[in-house]
């Protein structure tokens, strides 16, 4: 227990030192910070982006902002949370800059309840693909509400939509995901039969 | 009945435990962008340093321009000294010839000449004075001449002066002004004094009468 606490304390001191050096534009410190947080923030970018290329662009832009804004970072709250917020805001900016793709919403989506098994079986890349294939606004709302615990009111403010639209977008996003997973389940069961 | 887990919660659980690494070349891209930004920032700083330096230089030059007028006044003084020296030489020559042809003529100089004539004509009536006071007077006269000669030194006009003769009898308080020399001669003859016999020199200058008395 004591050893774990010591480790946590050492990590905290290292991070504090790293942040100090990054504020002075130390390239080595910046490289180290990137190495520590790139995986986490890349996964976050993949959830919010349409594809891998867009996710990498988002991560690049996010770190540019992080290294710029770190000079004004006042060590209040979680540093990790601060970086995640920057990454999410960058993804939202990209969405707002691009013209939203018009989608046809099919109401004849059948609800399939037994999806928990298939979700655990599907590879990570396929799950990410399912989310990335969602329409842009649905994807953003789904991630913001489900993955990052923003309220519908906060989502409405960030995206410039109403609270009601945010709620309906989230509901529709889940419906689409459920259908896709069900289709994935069907194809899996067919494979096993063969 | 099985409890149906929400699809959203399932996906969240699955993705929270996961890790995914970006491409290895991504850091190189970020580093290049950082270098570009630093170079741009340095360029902007040097631009503003240059602008502020230029502004400072302009302020210094503008400020120095205010003091340049002092140089002009010094030049004026030296010019005046040269003119006064020239006029000194001319005065000495004209005293010998008894005719004045000056490059600079004005009314004040005319009065000076006339005053000298009066002094010459009334020499016999002069009050004896000490050599020191005479010297002072001559100096004063010289200074007066100098000062008056300084006026309008750049005029190139040549004018022949018509000499006006003055006669003053201190006993009878009689004063006569005339351009006809013979009138004065006759008056002097009556007094028993010949005008041409009197030597007019600056050393023998009598106490100057005030302008108002003339």
Interchain pair B8, A142: CB under 8 A? yes
CA distances from B95 to A19, A158, B98, B102, B147 (A): 100, 107, 5, 12, 18
Interchain pair B33, A60: CB under 8 A? yes
- Taking the alpha carbons of A83, A89, A95, A98 in that order, is the dihedral positive or negative? negative
By percentage, how much of chain A surpasses pLDDT 70? 81
Structure tokens at B19: 């890790």
A89 and A25 in contact (C-beta within 8 Å)? Answer: no
Let me know how many helices (H) and strands (E) chain B has, helices first.
6, 4
- The model scores a pTM over 0.90: no
Structure letter (DSSP) for residue B49: H
CA–CA distance, B157 with B167 (Å, rounded to integer): 30
For residue B19, give the nearest of A35, A43, A56 by CB distance.
A43
pLDDT in tens, B152-206: 555 556 666 778 888 888 888 888 888 888 888 888 888 775 555 555 555 455 5
For residue A43, give the nearest of B20, B29, B34 by CB distance.
B20
Structure tokens at B72: 């002009």
Give the count of alpha carbons within 13 A of B29, CB side only: 14
A87 and A59 in contact (C-beta within 8 Å)? Answer: yes
Interchain pair A27, B34: CB under 8 A? yes
Residues of B in contact with A152 (CB under 8 A): none
**pLDDT band at residue B136, thresholds of 50, 70 and 90?**
very low
Q: What is the dihedral of CA B12, B13, B14, B16, to 10 degrees?
A: 80
Structure tokens at A1: 């227990």
- Closest-CA distance, B10 to chain A, in angstroms, reads 7
pLDDT in tens, A29-75: 999 999 999 999 999 999 999 999 999 999 999 999 999 999 989 88
- Closest-CA distance, A171 to chain B, in angstroms, reads 10
ipTM comes to 0.81
- Closest-CA distance, A50 to chain B, in angstroms, reads 15
Match 């923030």 to its residue by tokens. Answer: A41
């Amino acid at each position: 227990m004591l050893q774990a606490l010591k480790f946590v304390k050492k990590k905290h001191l290292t991070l504090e030192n790293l942040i100090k050096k990054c504020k002075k534009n130390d390239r080595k410190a910046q490289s180290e910070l990137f190495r520590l947080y790139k995986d986490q923030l890349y996964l976050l970018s993949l959830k919010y982006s349409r594809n891998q290329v867009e996710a990498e662009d988002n991560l690049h832009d996010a770190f540019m902002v992080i290294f710029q804004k770190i000079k004004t970072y006042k060590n209040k709250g979680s540093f990790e949370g601060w970086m995640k917020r920057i990454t999410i805001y960058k993804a939202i900016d990209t969405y707002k800059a691009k013209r939203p793709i018009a989608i046809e919403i099919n109401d004849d989506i059948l609800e399939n309840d037994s999806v928990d098994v298939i979700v655990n079986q599907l590879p990570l890349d396929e799950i990410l693909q399912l989310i990335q294939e969602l329409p842009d606004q649905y994807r953003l709302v789904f991630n913001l509400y489900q993955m990052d615990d923003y309220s519908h009111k906060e989502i409405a403010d960030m995206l410039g939509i109403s609270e009601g639209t945010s709620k309906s977008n989230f509901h529709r996003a889940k419906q689409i995901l459920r259908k896709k997973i069900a289709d994935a389940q069907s194809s899996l069961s067919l494979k096993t039969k063969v | 009945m099985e409890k149906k887990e929400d699809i959203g919660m399932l996906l969240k659980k699955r993705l929270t435990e996961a890790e995914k690494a970006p491409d290895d070349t991504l850091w190189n891209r970020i580093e290049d962008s950082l270098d570009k930004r630093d170079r741009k920032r340095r360029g902007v700083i040097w631009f503003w340093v240059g602008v502020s330096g230029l502004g400072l230089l302009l302020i210094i030059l503008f400020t120095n321009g205010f003091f340049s007028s002092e140089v002009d006044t010094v030049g004026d003084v030296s010019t005046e000294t040269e003119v006064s020296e020239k006029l000194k030489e001319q005065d000495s020559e004209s005293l010998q010839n008894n005719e004045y042809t000056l490059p600079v003529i004005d009314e004040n100089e005319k009065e000076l000449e006339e005053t000298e004539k009066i002094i010459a004509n009334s020499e016999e009536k002069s009050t004896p004075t000490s050599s020191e006071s005479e010297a002072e007077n001559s100096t004063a006269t010289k200074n007066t001449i100098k000062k008056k000669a300084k006026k309008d030194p750049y005029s190139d006009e040549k004018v022949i002066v018509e000499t006006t003769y003055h006669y003053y009898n201190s006993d009878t308080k009689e004063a006569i002004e005339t351009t006809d020399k013979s009138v004065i001669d006759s008056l002097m003859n009556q007094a028993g004094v010949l005008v041409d016999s009197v030597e007019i020199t600056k050393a023998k200058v009598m106490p100057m009468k005030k302008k108002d008395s003339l």
